[in-house]
Amino acid sequence: MKPPHTITRREFLTRAAALAGVVVATPALRAAPAPRKTATDQVPLGQTGLKICRLGMGTGSNGGEVQRRLGREGFDRLIRYAYDRGVTYIDTAEAYGTHEYIRSAIRGLPRERLFILTKMPGVPEKPLEVLDRYRKELGVDYLDCVLTHCATNARWDDERRRVLDALEEAKQKGIIRAKGVSCHGLPALRRATEVEWVDVHLVRLNPQGRHIDGPSDRWNEGGNETTLPEVVREIRSMRAKGRGIIGMKIIGNGEFRSPEDREKSIRYAMQSGLVDAVTIGFASTDELDEALERMNRALAEV
């Protein structure tokens, strides 16, 4: 049997040099560029395990009057146009009177592609029966998210315990996929951060401070630029707990008439890192197109 070959120093150096040449000659692998962010991306909603379109179609401008004034056909066209542009999140509430409008507008669309969020006001006697009514009005088997609507004080979770318990039960049964709260006022907002029951927060946010949360528990007392830092502080605490955050009042309750104000607010919402998604109420396809354009431009810089 031949003895094993012992490599010489010259052979070792020759082979090492050849290997180095191969390594040098191989082009370095380049990391693929990150996909460009857009307004219609499906993004994680906090740590809920759900995904939501970054831009939502709001149906509650002036309590839903703006959208209802479009009529059924006009509303259908707007929802379908939004869907065709990639907007699959629809935001509604019992108080807006748009549930049945939405049922007509989404008929025939794939349910699994839609994210439907609605809101329950007050403390109804039988919240689970109310949820059944919502599903019939909307023409769906389940709701992606249901919020207890317009909490105003620091005792809202105790006062609405029947609703919170019912929404928890509904989530366990698969009737809803997530639950949460919308607040009007800093006392309620602060308490919402503390309540572990909350999956999703609908927060009022714009850098101008228009119609954001004010210092009292009066639902219609808006804040301003002086209350904005406290609102932001609460949102950051919510995010730290893994909550889903959706921004509203991005167009200042429809009062941002100047393009500069709309640009400033949308840019802030997209670049601040405070929200997962936003809901904006539209009255026309032109308004929707403008929001998409402004959001995409702001996201391109992130």
92-118 tens-digit pLDDT: 999 999 999 999 999 999 999 999 999
Look up residue 70 and give its two tokens.
Answer: 């479009």
Query: What phi and psi values does residue 35 have, to the nearest 5 degrees?
Result: -60, 145
How big is the chain by its Cα radius of gyration, in Å?
A: 25
Within 54-167, strands assigned E span 55-58, 89-91, 115-121, 145-151
pLDDT number for residue 11: 56
Domain 42-299 has CATH 1.10.287.3510: no
36-78 tens-digit pLDDT: 999 999 999 999 999 999 999 999 999 999 999 999 999 999 9
Side-chain half-sphere of 7: how many Cα atoms within 13 Å? 8
pLDDT number for residue 8: 55
Of 65, 61, 57, 64, nearest to 83 (Cα)? Answer: 57
Site of tokens 């808006």: 222
165-211 tens-digit pLDDT: 999 999 999 999 999 999 999 999 999 999 999 999 999 999 999 99
Of 126, 142, 269, 148, nearest to 200 (Cα)? Answer: 148
In angstroms, rounded to a whole number, what is the distance separating the alpha carbons of residues 297 and 255? 22
SS3 at position 127: helix
3-state helix/strand/coil string of 137-196: HHCCCCECEEEEEEECCCCHHHHCHHHHHHHHHHHHHCCECCEEEEECCHHHHHHHHHCC
For residues 117 and 145, the answer to whether their CB atoms sit within 8 Å is yes
Look up residue 261 and give its two tokens.
Answer: 């104000």
For residues 78 and 288, the answer to whether their CB atoms sit within 8 Å is yes
In angstroms, rounded to a whole number, what is the distance separating the alpha carbons of residues 134 and 127? 10
Q: What is the DSSP letter of 241?
A: T
Domain-wise residue ranges, the chain: 42-299
For the cut 60, the answer to whether the pLDDT of residue 25 exceeds it is no
130-151 tens-digit pLDDT: 999 999 999 999 999 999 999 9
Averaged pLDDT, 242-260: 96
Look up residue 139 and give its two tokens.
Answer: 């023409």
pLDDT number for residue 172: 98
Query: How much is the mean pLDDT over the chain?
Result: 92
Lowest mean pLDDT among 21-25, 70-74, 178-182, 214-218: 21-25
For the cut 60, the answer to whether the pLDDT of residue 24 exceeds it is no
For the cut 80, the answer to whether the pLDDT of residue 31 exceeds it is no
